[in-house]
Amino acid sequence: MDNGRTCDGVVECTALVLAESCAELDGRITLFGILDELRPNGADGGYSFVIYAKFEGCEHADGGERRARILITDEEGEVLEESAEYSVWLSGEESPATILAAFDLPGDLEVEETLLWVEAELDEETLAQTAIPLRERYNV
């Protein structure tokens, strides 16, 4: 009788980062201006940013294609924006998968004490989420 536990192949989102912009060189991504809040930018007062998500599996994670995407929801859970669906391949702990999505939210969002939720989904299951406040630009 074997009392040992077996792993079902855990997959986690080990990074969910918002940034002002990014660049890619030789297959490596550099994020610029890591964000902890969103402020309007540009003439239209909209919100432009990128989101980077990294998914990693344990040694027992099944290889094969999975579907990943990023959702932005309001405080009530209504989806405001979503990224395209990305095809990612995980093969144990040796091959993490990353996605990068750009967003342009309109400037007509209610700003006062508003939180947006950013969710990283893999196969329609939320693996990570973070809240980011909207702030008005201060005049000096």
pLDDT recorded at residue 130: 94
The predicted-structure confidence for 99-120, as pLDDT tens digits, reads as follows: 999 999 887 777 666 889 999 9
pTM: 0.85
Would you call 96 exposed, middle or buried from its count of C-beta atoms within 10 A (0-12, 13-18, 19+)?
Answer: middle
pLDDT recorded at residue 87: 93
Question: Encoding tokens for residue 1?
Answer: 């009788």
pLDDT recorded at residue 22: 94
The predicted-structure confidence for 25-76, as pLDDT tens digits, reads as follows: 898 889 999 999 988 886 677 889 999 999 988 877 777 788 999 999 988 8
pLDDT recorded at residue 59: 78
pLDDT recorded at residue 50: 96
User: Residue 24: what residue type?
Assistant: E
Q: Sorting pLDDT into bands at 50, 70 and 90, what band is 19?
A: very high
Spell out the residues 6+ positions from residue 36 whose beta carbon is closer than 8 angstroms to its own. Answer: 132
CATH class assigned to 16-122: mainly beta
